[in-house]
């Protein structure tokens, strides 16, 4: 069965430092997509980054990069040069062939950026 696990309920990082948010997933499919979303206190869901299972390069989008380790089934989000505005909930998500069209979300990690 498809599953997303985020083991860090909360994380603290100093402003301007890098932080890694962990995500592991479980699927028996070979074809799947991995996503990260940010949810600030205002509540909206903001798409950050996407990694396809067949992509050989790790995805990057500005200060966000996805550390994709297929054999370990992990898709960690790395945020470089943290900013105060990065304080939010972060959700890892997956969509695979077996799951059809639904996106499965992890429980989330709350990131606190300290000045």
Partner 1 sequence: NAGVMQNPRHLVRRRGQEARLRCSPMKGHSHVYWYRQLPEEGLKFMVYLQKENIIDESGMPKERFSAEFPKEGPSILRIQQVVRGDSAAYFCASSPETHHEQYFGPGTRLTVT
64 binds partner 1 (CB under 8 A): no
Interacting stretch for partner 1, rule CB under 8 A, among 55-63, 71-79, 80-88, 99-107?
Answer: 99-107
Please, what is the minimum distance in Å from the beta carbon of residue 43 to partner 1? Answer: 6
Interatomic CA distance for residues 83 and 81, integer angstroms: 7
With binding defined as CB under 8 A, does residue 102 bind partner 1?
A: yes
DSSP state of 33: E
Task: Name residue 57's beta-bridge partners.
Answer: none
Strands (E) located in 1-115: 3-5, 10-14, 19-21, 24-26, 32-39, 46-52, 60-61, 64-69, 74-79, 88-96, 104-105, 109-114
> Site for partner 1 (CB under 8 A): which residue of 37, 66, 79, 86?
37
Interface stretch with partner 1, choices 17-25, 59-67, 80-88, 96-104 (CB under 8 A): 96-104
Interface residue list for partner 1 (CB under 8 A): 4, 33, 35, 37, 43-47, 50, 91, 93, 95, 100-108
């Amino acid at each position: 069965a498809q599953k997303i696990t985020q083991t860090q309920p909360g994380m603290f990082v100093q402003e301007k430092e890098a932080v890694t948010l962990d995500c592991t997933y479980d699927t028996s499919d070979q074809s799947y997509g991995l996503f990260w979303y940010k949810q600030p206190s205002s509540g909206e869901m903001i798409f950050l980054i996407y990694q396809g299972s067949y992509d050989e390069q790790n995805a990057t989008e500005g200060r966000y990069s996805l550390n994709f380790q297929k054999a370990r089934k992990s898709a960690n989000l790395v945020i470089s040069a943290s900013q105060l505005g990065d304080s939010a909930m972060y959700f890892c998500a997956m969509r695979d062939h077996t799951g059809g069209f639904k996106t499965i979300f992890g429980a989330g990690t709350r990131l606190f950026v300290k000045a």
